[in-house]
Amino acid sequence: GFRVFLPLLVVALSSRVGIVELSDQFAFLATWPALVALLVASVLEVGAYLVPWIDHAIDVIATPAAVLAGTLLAATQMPDVGPIATWAGAAALGGGTAAITQAATVGTRGVSTVSTAGLFNPVIGLVESAVAFVLAALSIVVPVLAAVAALVVLLVLARVIMRRRRSRAATDAALTG
């Protein structure tokens, strides 16, 4: 959810060096052409989020793409229980998690755009990229720790958004009252 290509790159690299085993249908992710494509896409994506007006344009594409990437990523790790069960589980777990995370990050940058005229968005973009990389790496190394870290990040984001809304409501009340 934080990024579309970065988590896929981490899994592909992990598979390439033998840390993660991908099923035959996803083995292509560890090929050199796929690795190069994912690396280039990751660099372009991270760079694009550093430009305030481009980050909003990317969110239009990245939101559905993140859901698809989350589904694909989850499917690479699902046990072989048949295609319907695999893809349904992957869509619910990976796609659902990516959708929730993407909504939180889009909301955070929206608040930043309104409150700082987009000047703080590159900082948020860098933090999101760093968190995406760390969580992807943790999910490979320590899945339980990654789940806890993801939950903490979502709770912090929710708290920041709620504080901003309360602050904005108080400001609006003071101006109209």
Q: Is the pLDDT of residue 169 over 60?
A: yes
Q: Which of 3-7, 94-98, 105-109, 146-150 has the lowest mean pLDDT?
A: 146-150
Q: Is the pLDDT of residue 120 over 90?
A: no
pLDDT tens per residue across span 127-144: 888 888 887 777 777 766
What's residue 33's pLDDT?
Answer: 97
Calculate the average pLDDT of the chain.
Answer: 84
Residue corresponding to tokens 């295609």: 83
DSSP code per residue over 72-83: HHHHHHS--S-H
Q: Which residues of 3-12 are buried (b: 16+ CB within 10 A; e: fewer)?
A: bbbbbbbbbb
pLDDT tens per residue across span 7-57: 889 889 999 998 888 888 889 999 999 999 999 999 998 888 888 778 777
